[in-house]
Chain A
Amino acid sequence: DQQVKQNSPSLSVQEGRISILNCDYTNSMFDYFLWYKKYPAEGPTFLISISSIKDKNEDGRFTVFLNKSAKHLSLHIVPSQPGDSAVYFCAARYGSSNTGKLIFGQGTTLQVKP
């Protein structure tokens, strides 16, 4: 039972253009969402997060949008750079629980072409 889904295994964009990575979830009890970036042979690195009480959070070139009614979030990278090429994981956390357990999606491999 996959509660967090990233339906696109891969995405390829041209340098300078926008990258949009999507994530869907099924559990309405999730109250906090995070994006992690992972390079080969390294651990996931925190990128950006959003609380369920917000619909947008921006940090430099990275913006996360949350649509609670659709149970959908997306990560926008503008402009995309070759160094952004990595696997991006969407993750969600339960709000009512006192555990920091994260539920991850399968990941989307982003390739930014020079």
Chain B
Amino acid sequence: EAGVTQFPSHSVIEKGQTVTLRCDPISGHDNLYWYRRVMGKEIKFLLHFVKESKQDESGMPNNRFLAERTGGTYSTLKVQPAELEDSGVYFCASSQGVSGNTIYFGEGSWLTVV
């Protein structure tokens, strides 16, 4: 069974440009999460989808970040326009349920804004 897959694995863009990250969760997982780790610090929650609906987007930094999950399958996270402080590793994760269920992480998309 395939795990959580993310694309691209690495991206280098200039300040002001747009980047779109994609996540394919584990098949059958209704819950999809985006997290971010900046500069070796803690991994921070961005948002949580249940199927196509945003359950919790309390961690989204600002309106330059837009996450979508049309059809409740894969998800995209767009950063527009990108700023230097957006550099970091963006992790996607998924789980079957919420309470008591393990959350499985992808390998991450490394974003560098120069």
Contacts and interface: CB of A to CB of B under 8 A. Distances in A.
A98 B55 contact: yes
B33 A89 contact: no
Given A43-B4, A45-B105, A101 B56 contact: yes
Contact of B100 (A32, A46, A101): A32
Contacts of B59: 101
B104 A46 contact: yes
Interface residues of B, number: 28
B75 interface: no
A29 interface: no
A43 B33 CA distance: 13
A46 B98 contact: no
A99 B100 contact: no
Given A98-B55, A99-B56, A100-B101, A2 B42 contact: yes
Interface of B: 4, 31, 33, 35, 41-45, 48, 55-56, 58-59, 91, 93, 95, 98-108
8 contacts: A44-B43, A44-B105, A46-B104, A51-B100, A100-B98, A101-B33, A102-B35, A106-B41
